[in-house]
Chains A and B, each alone.
Chain A
Amino acid sequence: MKATIHISLKNGVLDPQGKAVRTALGSLGFDGVGDVRLGKVIELDLAETNRDQARETVERMCKSLLANTVIENYRIDLD
């Protein structure tokens, strides 16, 4: 089973990279871009075949290592 984890910064957490990307887009002539937020995507190949079990395991992975819940949100997709 494949798990895809989307990690994004929480609202209110400064994203200096997002700001730099927004400025760069503006200098390329792309107007009308508001806030830009950068995140990351983590793909995992899992041996687990039970969806509920997989979700529970990945949830624990996120909480213990993959995301820092002080500053980040995460979303898990399984397929």
Chain B
Amino acid sequence: MHSRIQRRIPAVKAAIIVFPGSNCDRDVAVAVESAMGTKPYMVWHRETDLPAVDLVVVPGGFSYGDYLRCGAMAAQSPVMRAVKAQAARGTRVLGICNGFQILTEAGLLPGALLRNRDLKFICRDVHLRVDNNDSDFCRRYMCGEVVRFPVAHAEGNYFADDETIRRIEGEGQVAFRYCRRDGAVDEASNPNGSLGNIAGIYDEHFRVLGLMPHPERLADPVLGGTDGKAMFESLVEALS
């Protein structure tokens, strides 16, 4: 009989919020589990308490049918009150696509997501430039690195007033920008009309990230790419 020395790394705990109309909750659960080695809690929107976790993911989809405004109803749901309370205590919060819209509507991130410039639902891969990798979400990326993530949205046109844009640009809160394959950020590589080609932003403490593109949809070789995987690996590395 031989003894085995085990490295005791505390498992990262994650919760994924599920709304009526969420449709990326299982995809992101697979990405989270494969990076973290533990199954995330799936938390229904009516819950008023969250388990003690290191990370909350607000997934993509069409919460509450996108009625009124995308994310507006979800932002007022009981579970989002618990998410806000945990975020205030420092729990990391990741919002993807509709999750990003929900976080802006809930006031956890500045700005708003408007209808796409060309009014169309866009479903394709886009290139993104990592603008600021200095966070628990992006430390496994390099600054200026170009990655490929899919987008699937009709309301991803990031807008904020001039003062807010100046502030988030000045504080380095832009995480990702839409760009060309070679990393050039220009109008032609902007799929939806977002100001400054902004695809994803951090909150002022860099503990909340919202982005329209879907890292979980290219986080496994069988999906055709793995560029999204580093986001989940970053979180494991940072939160372990």
Q: Evaluate whether A70 and B160 lie within 8 angstroms (CB atoms) in the complex, with A64-B76, A65-B68 already known.
A: yes
B173-195 CB contacts (< 8 Å) to partner A = 193
Residue of B nearest to A13 (CB): B159
Q: Evaluate whether A68 and B112 lie within 8 angstroms (CB atoms) in the complex, with A12-B161, A14-B159, A14-B193 already known.
A: yes
Interface residues on chain A, number (Cβ under 8 Å): 12
A44-79 CB contacts (< 8 Å) to partner B = 64-66, 68, 70-71
Contact digits for B106-150, partner A, Cβ 8 Å, 1 yes 0 no: 000011101111110000000000000000000000000000000
Would you call B114 and A16 a contact (CB within 8 A)?
yes
Q: Which of A14, A20, A64, A65 contacts B114 (CB 8 A)?
A: A14
> Any chain A CB within 8 A of the CB of B86?
no
A17 to B119, CA, bound (A): 7
> Any chain A CB within 8 A of the CB of B69?
yes
Residue of A nearest to B164 (CB): A70
A65 to B73, CA, bound (A): 7
> Any chain A CB within 8 A of the CB of B168?
no
Which bracket fits the contact residues of B? 20 to 34
CB distance from B95 to the nearest CB of A (A): 16
Would you call B117 and A16 a contact (CB within 8 A)?
yes
Note all chain A residues with C-beta closer than 8 A to B111.
Answer: 70
A12 to B161, CA, bound (A): 8
Q: Which of B76, B117, B159 contacts A65 (CB 8 A)?
A: B76
Q: Evaluate whether A16 and B68 lie within 8 angstroms (CB atoms) in the complex, with A68-B105, A70-B104, A71-B112 already known.
A: no
Would you call B117 and A14 a contact (CB within 8 A)?
yes
Note all chain A residues with C-beta closer than 8 A to B73.
Answer: 65
Q: Which of A12, A13, A16, A64 contacts B116 (CB 8 A)?
A: A16
Residue of B nearest to A71 (CB): B112
CB distance from A25 to the nearest CB of B (A): 16
Would you call B112 and A14 a contact (CB within 8 A)?
no
Note all chain A residues with C-beta closer than 8 A to B112.
Answer: 68, 70-71
Would you call A65 and B160 a contact (CB within 8 A)?
no
> Any chain A CB within 8 A of the CB of B157?
yes
A13 to B159, CA, bound (A): 8
> Which 8 A-B residue pairs are closest in the complex by CB-CB distance?
A70-B112, A71-B112, A16-B115, A16-B119, A16-B117, A65-B76, A68-B69, A68-B112
Q: Which residues of B contact A (CB under 8 A)?
A: 68-69, 72-73, 76, 104-105, 110-112, 114-119, 157, 159-161, 193
